[in-house]
Amino acid sequence: MMNNQSRQRLLTIMAIVCFGAFVGDKILFTPLLNIWKDRSVRIEELEKNLSKGKLLMDREEDLQRRWQSMKENSLPLDKSLAQSQVLKSADRWATESGITVSTFKPNWKEYQENYITLDCRAVAQGNLSNIVRFLYELEKDPLAVKLEQVEITVNDEAGEKLTLGVVFSGLQILEDEL
């Protein structure tokens, strides 16, 4: 049998071991585990960034070509010339599609210091094939324009006469970033 002194010693040693394990966990093990987890997350982020960078490097030539095309086809720096160019293009799209444009409202908007857009709202009438052709001509034009919004309403019961409300924007690049 154990006497009281050895039992007390054993309990003291066990208490010291438990206290040491608790302090070791709070001071050493848990912080090291948190650092390990944080590093794992950071390594995962860096690997994602690396794969994105490799993808960009692989696509660099194509992206450079597309950027050059955007710069070449962007609107001229002279606002009146740019507005005239967009108006002539819209007239060409309307002529080729057979649609009748009743309203055309251009509006310049500056979003950032390196580019401006010419936002245009047009209202036109025609049948479905005219409208489809107009939208096709707008989209395929080499001019740097982007279709923003389309609204089509029916003017007769048969659905033959339609009104097209369209918003598109032209890009004017003010400075070369690449």
Contacts 24+ apart (CB under 8 A), 26-30: none
- Please, which pLDDT band fits residue 33 given cuts at 50, 70 and 90? confident
- Which one, of 141, 149, 162, 152, lies nearest residue 87 by Cα? 141
**pLDDT (tens digit, 9 = 90+) per residue, 10-22?**
889 888 988 888 8
| Average pLDDT score over residue span 174-178 | 60
The two tokens of residue 40 are 């794992």
- How far, in Å, CA of 171 to CA of 169, rounded? 7
- Of all helices (H) and strands (E), which one includes residue 40? helix 30-73
CA distances from 174 to 77, 108, 117, 170 (A): 7, 13, 10, 13
Residue 1 has pLDDT above 70, yes or no: no
Residue 178 has pLDDT above 50, yes or no: no
**Phi, psi (deg, nearest 5) at residue 53:** -65, -40
- Please, which pLDDT band fits residue 157 given cuts at 50, 70 and 90? confident
Task: For 80-96, give the secondary structure using H, E and C.
Answer: HHHHHHHHHHHHHHHHH
Name which residue leads in pLDDT, 159 or 162. 162
- Please, which pLDDT band fits residue 47 given cuts at 50, 70 and 90? very high
Q: What is the pTM of this model?
A: 0.63
| Average pLDDT score over residue span 109-131 | 89
| First CA to last CA distance, the chain | 87
